[in-house]
Every structure is written in C-alpha cells, then in structure tokens.
Chains A and B, each alone.
Chain A
Amino acid sequence: ETGVTQSPTHLIKTRGQQVTLRCSSQSGHNTVSWYQQALGQGPQFIFQYYREEENGRGNFPPRFSGLQFPNYSSELNVNALELDDSALYLCASSFGTGGEKLFFGSGTQLSVL
C-alpha cells in the first residue's frame, strides 16, 4: 500500500460528458502528479500540482484540468470526453516537485462509450 487513494475505482461515461477523478495524497506529501495509461501503453504524464498550482503539464489538451486543495488532495477533470480518453488514470504523490520515486495509487479505470 502506498498511502495514495483514488476514487472511484471504475467509471463508465459516454462521449461528450464530463468526469471528475479524485486523489488523496500520502500523509506528508504536498505534490500530486497525474498520469494516463492507455491499454498496452506506459503511463503518460498529464500534469503536476504543487502548492495548489499547476506546476508542469504534458501534451494534453486544455479539456484536461485539475485542482489541488489545501490538504494536498487533488482532482482531475476531463471535459467533452472522447473515446480515446478511455484509460487507467493514475495519481502519485511526493514531497516537493523533485520527487523521483513515484508511488502510485490504485488508479481509476475510465471507459468512454
């Protein structure tokens, strides 16, 4: 167990809908990173949140957005869902932005129909 919890575990949405995924960071960690893992691929970096601000972003469109709260938990929001958004969404927490060893939560499996 990494101490990083994600909810929900599974989610089914239809194209065009919006979704919110949640992540509670490990105690003492102030940074949250989100990754998307499509079937048969490695995880891809979406963005990182540090001190409630986006601290770096991968090659994802603006319809992927996030929040970090004062307790360091985080949300990932995806608007106008597309079929290709179907993936496992992983959250990892760390202390500071230089965290190298990432420990992932159990993930949210999103299916877009």
Chain B
Amino acid sequence: QKEVEQNSGPLSVPEGAIASLNCTYSDRVSQSFFWYRQYSGKSPELIMSIYSNGDKEDGRFTAQLNKASQYVSLLIRDSQPSDSATYLCAEHVRIQGAQKLVFGQGTRLTINP
C-alpha cells in the first residue's frame, strides 16, 4: 500500500519563527513530491515541488528531500499569521495508464502573533 504520512498537528509556531513540516512516504520509486497549502474551506494550492535529493528554496519556503530515508520536509522561515493553514504533502505515482498524486492527511499549522 503506497502511503504518505504526516503528523496531523496542530503545530503551533510563534510569528517570525521557523515552521518545520515533515512527511514520510513508502513508495521507493517515487520521483516527484509536492507541498500544497490549503486554507479552511478552500482548495489546495501548490506552493513547492521537489524532484532531487537536497534542498530547494523559494522565498521563505524551503523543501527538503531525502530519498534514502523516504522523507520530505517543508520549512517556512519568518512565519506569518497568513501562513496558518493545513499543509498537504503529496507524491506523484503511476496507476494503470494514469498518473496521480497520493496525499498525506495534512498538518494543521497555526502561527501565533
């Protein structure tokens, strides 16, 4: 069973601090990973993608991938109250002729002013 696992939280971080979100996956052949942000009552919004081992930075966001440990993380620097949301980790897998995303259950992040 291919799975993506996340700590559901809630994770509470003071404003201005670094928020660290973690995700593990079970499918060793997965090559592509994504982080989505989802505000309450809204649809998921893609914020980061990562395909290679190491770090990828985009503004205040850094995604980290360790394929040997099957571990993906997202760091948010200088956290803002507007970062309060649920963060979904996803891996890209093939099924039959289609390609799909397998999501974790999400981590709820709260940034405290």
B44-A55 in contact (CB<8A): no
Decide: A45 and B100 in contact? CB cutoff 8 A: yes
Which residues of B2-46 have CB atoms within 8 Å of chain A's CB atoms? 4, 8, 32, 34, 41-46
B111: shortest Cβ distance to chain A, in Å?
Answer: 20
Bound: A48/B100 CA distance, A: 8
Chain B residues with CB under 8 Å of chain A are: 4, 8, 32, 34, 41-46, 49, 88, 90, 92, 95-106
Near B by CB (< 8 A), chain A positions 59-92 give: 88, 90
B interface majority secondary structure = strand
Contact assessment for B100 and A56 in the assembled complex, using a CB-CB cutoff below 8 Å: yes
- Known contacts A97-B98, A97-B99, A101-B34; is A43 also within 8 Å of B42 by CB? no
Q: Cβ of A42: which chain B residues have Cβ within 8 Å of it?
A: 4, 88, 90, 103-106
Could you say which residues of chain B place their CB within 8 Å of the CB of A105?
Answer: 43
**Is A40 interfacial (CB 8 A cutoff)?**
yes
Residues of A within 8 A of B46 (CB): 101-103
A55-B98 contact, Cβ under 8 Å, with A44-B103, A100-B92: yes
**B98 near A43: Cβ-Cβ < 8 Å:** no
Contact partners of A44 in chain B: CB under 8 A: 103
